[in-house]
Amino acid sequence: MTDTTHPPRVVMGVGGGIAAYKACELIRRLRAVDGMAAEVTVVPTANALEFVGAATFEALSGRPVTSDVFADIPSVAHVAIGQHTDLVVIAPATADLLARAAIGRADDLLTATLLVTRAPVLVAPAMHTEMWTHPATQANVETLRSWGVTVLDPAVGRLTGADSGAGRLPDPEHIAQIAELLLHRADALPRDLTGRRIVVTAGGTREPLDPVRFLGNRSSGRQGFALALVAAARGAQVTLIAANADLPTPPGVQRVPVGSAAEMRDATHAAADGADAVLMAAAVADFRPADYAAAKIKKTPGGQPAPLALTTNPDILAELVQRRGSAGGSVILGFAAETGDATATVADYGRAKLARKGCDFLVVNDVSGGAVFGRPDNAATIVGADGSETVVSNGPKALLAAAICDVVARRLSAR
């Protein structure tokens, strides 16, 4: 965790690509990280200043901006900036900037800062698809990752002009989430899931009653999306089965949209074939209307609605465990959103559910009073069928996601 005696100190490096304009939103998000007024020092390349002027960066950061190694000579800025920071974020990182960083160049203030700093470094590339997939760029990325630099995969989407493909800057929301995670845990993103196929479910299913109404729940999908984001950043090939979540797709993640529990079931079973782990973060409805009305159910003056008959949805988690059998297969992790009562505590219900489901791990959330749903933070206990118990204190949802990836990675490496 970053030293709490001062606000987080972040160096925001900006490369000279058209996506430099998105750095403006990222600066605002970084200044609000952890609810504190983070000190953000913007260090653009000279080419970045061709896209966004220094005045804009200074207004957003509240600090002077320069890209010149000869500026502020008395303070030795090209050394001091890197020495006195908690995190370096580079967004966008162009192909040229990646190449200069990978061979240890120090020909401007940003690359000099990279050589000096011993703080975590987060890099978000943005470039045309052909440049991203070129062997030289891929070799530079692997070099940086081998040094412990976190290099996100770019997003897929519209690029400059009419082009589209891999190379779009990841959403500033995702970059900020990863930055916040690294400020809490510098070691949160080892590449220990490289080559692993992981399925993550997220969001809340909706069970249709008629063409305009449904039964649903309060899940926003944020925890599942954070889990997909972190797993991908740790090298996994991630399939995200998302139910009714109005959130951007994390970079490097394949998204499969679904609506109901039945759709979630079909998509999860299909994706789980050959997967190394299935992480069931979605809030799947236990029940659905027994009958679907083909036309909107009308409200009659003075009349009372007919009783709503419900039927039980399939238990996807239990089906996955049964389908896996006793011979091993995927690591399976479930979530339990629980509230305590006069009969038992939240922990009691969680342990009972773990035994009943037969999965490897269960993440137990206390959702009393509306906690967790729709909020950016979370606290939970990860209980394992092997008797393990990992308590994760309240913090960003990406922090819980990293703890989940820790236990999953350990289980996979032990096989």
254-309 confidence digits (pLDDT tens): 999 999 999 999 999 999 999 999 999 999 999 999 999 898 988 877 778 788 89
pTM of the full structure: 0.92
**pLDDT at site 2:** 54
* Confidence category of residue 164, pLDDT binned at 50, 70, 90: confident
* Confidence category of residue 326, pLDDT binned at 50, 70, 90: low
392 or 369: which carries more pLDDT confidence?
392
* Confidence category of residue 351, pLDDT binned at 50, 70, 90: confident
135 or 342: which carries more pLDDT confidence?
135
Query: What is the 3-class SS of the chain, one letter each residue?
Result: CCCCCCCCEEEEEECCCHHHHHHHHHHHHHHCHHHCCCEEEEEECCCHHHHCCHHHHHHHHCCCCCCCCCCCHHHCHHHHHHHCCCEEEEEEECHHHHHHHHCCCCCCHHHHHHHHCCCCEEEEECCCHHHHHCHHHHHHHHHHHHCCCEECCCEEEECCCCCEEEEECCCHHHHHHHHHHHHHCCCCCCCCCCCCEEEEEEEECCEECCCCCEECCCCCCHHHHHHHHHHHHCCCEEEEEEECCCCCCCCCEEEEEECCHHHHHHHHHHHHCCCCEEEECCECCCEEECCCCCCCCCCCCCCCCCCCCEEECCCHHHHHHHHHCCCCCCEEEEEEEECCCCCCCHHHHHHHHHHHHCCCEEEEEECHHHCCCCCCEEEEEEEECCCCEEEEEEEEHHHHHHHHHHHHHHHHHCC
**pLDDT at site 304:** 80
In the chain, what are the domains?
9-184 (3.40.50.1950), 197-413 (3.40.50.10300)
Q: Give pLDDT tens digits for 177-207.
A: 999 999 999 999 999 999 999 999 999 999 9
Clarify whether 217 is annotated catalytic. yes
Residue 73 has pLDDT above 70, yes or no: no
Residue 375 has pLDDT above 90, yes or no: no
* Confidence category of residue 371, pLDDT binned at 50, 70, 90: low
**pLDDT at site 71:** 66
- The mean pLDDT value of the chain amounts to 91
Catalytic residue among 47, 140, 217, 365, which? 217
